[in-house]
Amino acid sequence: MELSQYMEDAAKKDFFDNVMETRIVDGKIYGLPMEVEPMAMYYSHKAFSEAKLSEADVPKTWDQLIEVSKKLTKKSQFGCLFETGPGYYQNFTWYPFLWQGGGDIVTPEGNKSAFNSPATVQALKFWQDTIKAGVAPRNELGFGGGDPGANLASGYCAIQNLGIWGVSILRENAKGFEYGVFPCPIPPNGQPKSVLGGWSFVANAKSKDPENAAKFCVWALGSMSDDSIGRVVDWCIKAKSDVSPRKSALEKATELGGYKDGPMKVFKDDVFPTGRGEPRVPPEVYKAVSDAVQACQLGGANPEQQAAEASQNIDSYLAGYSGAPLR
């Protein structure tokens, strides 16, 4: 169901543009986010100290990340960690590295592949290089690359590619663990980029009562009432650790100290502004990207060949596609 028909203009404008770009079709809002979960890099203060590294050694480029990770790697600890399990989450975590070099899945019109590009090749190769260099593991602990307690706090890795939700996980499950957060490193001539994840409310247009379902979504998250704004504030800084998708809620949460210092401040001030909405693509397109990432990262496949094959598969699918433009 289109939700914007039940929203006042002030509420529509209250959501950040980079959060809404993949939730809007033809100017109409179909999903209202309750949170924003950008990706960055977490690092262990203890691991850095033991390797005689300081904050000045926090890597800003891909090459620096691999070099620093070599210094952090030892018998029982990997220098860095990226998601290795195939799935939507792995794709999500890889997209910033694609975008940093100017790459994309599809053209701006959303109807043809843009995947066969130098930016794609270098992003595939970078993740492959971390495995080849022996600084990143082929498997993660706990529930995977999104679990900082089992991987970073345990000492399994010293740097972990992870979203903002890791702050609340560590707050609850690894009290006393000291860590920092920095934006994802960039390639030569690259631009800082992150991906904005997070869940949204949507209303099924084919349900028994779609109109009331849509009105509920707007009542819950998309009105200018104090309750609606407060709900987003409480979710993002009390129940979890997220950036608010709404300007008013972010302002209120900031006033309450939710982004005062530490990792939350880094995410709000340095990472979120570089973020782009998680791509809106159907399963067939996701799978083409996933297969390329998996083949290069763990299978040692040729990145140029994988980029070309995935691009061909994407174009083949789009030739018969008639849905909303991909973003």
pLDDT tens for 64-115 read 999 999 999 999 999 999 999 999 999 999 999 999 999 999 999 889 999 9
Q: Is residue 182 part of a domain?
A: no
User: Given this model, what pLDDT does residue 265 score?
Assistant: 98
Q: Which three-class secondary structure state does DSSP give residue 20?
A: helix
- CA distances to 63, 108, 117, 250, 285 from 318, rounded to whole Å, are 35, 14, 18, 38, 9
Dihedral sign computed on CA atoms, order 315, 319, 323, 325: positive
CATH number of residue 262's parent domain: 3.40.190.10
Within-domain flag for 175 = no
| 79 is a domain residue | no
Single out the residue of 243, 248, 288, 287 nearest to residue 263, CA to CA.
243
Taking only Cα atoms into account, the Rg of the chain, rounded to an integer number of angstroms, comes to 20
End-to-end CA distance of the chain: 19
Report how many domains make up the chain: 1
Q: Do the bridges between strand 37-44 and strand 194-197 make them parallel or antiparallel, or are there none, so unpaired?
A: antiparallel
- How confident is the prediction for the chain on average, in pLDDT? 97
Q: How many CB atoms lie within 10 A of CB 180?
A: 16
**Residue 214 included in any domain:** yes
Neighbours of 191 (CB within 10 A): 11
Query: pLDDT per residue over 246-261, tens digit each?
Result: 999 999 999 999 999 9
Return the pLDDT at 208: 97
Range of the domain at 22: 4-37+197-272
Distance CA 101, CA 90 (A): 19
- Paired strand residues for 36: 243
**Residue 31 structure tokens:** 């999903």
CB 43 within 8 A of CB 49: no
What is the pLDDT averaged over residues 139-164?
A: 98
- What is the distance between the alpha carbons of residues 4 and 104, in angstroms, rounded to a whole number? 28
pTM of the model: 0.97
Structure confidence at residue 129 as a pLDDT band (50, 70, 90):
very high
Q: Are 252 and 259 in contact (CB under 8 A)?
A: no
How far is it, in rounded angstroms, from Cα 82 to Cα 160?
Answer: 7
SS3 of 198, please?
coil
73 within domain boundaries: no
pLDDT-derived band of residue 150, with 50, 70 and 90 as boundaries? Answer: very high
What average pLDDT does this structure show over 282-303? Answer: 98
What are the residue ranges of helices labelled H in 105-180? 118-132, 148, 165-173
Judge whether 257 lies within some domain: yes
Q: What are phi and psi of 224, to 5 degrees?
A: -95, 10
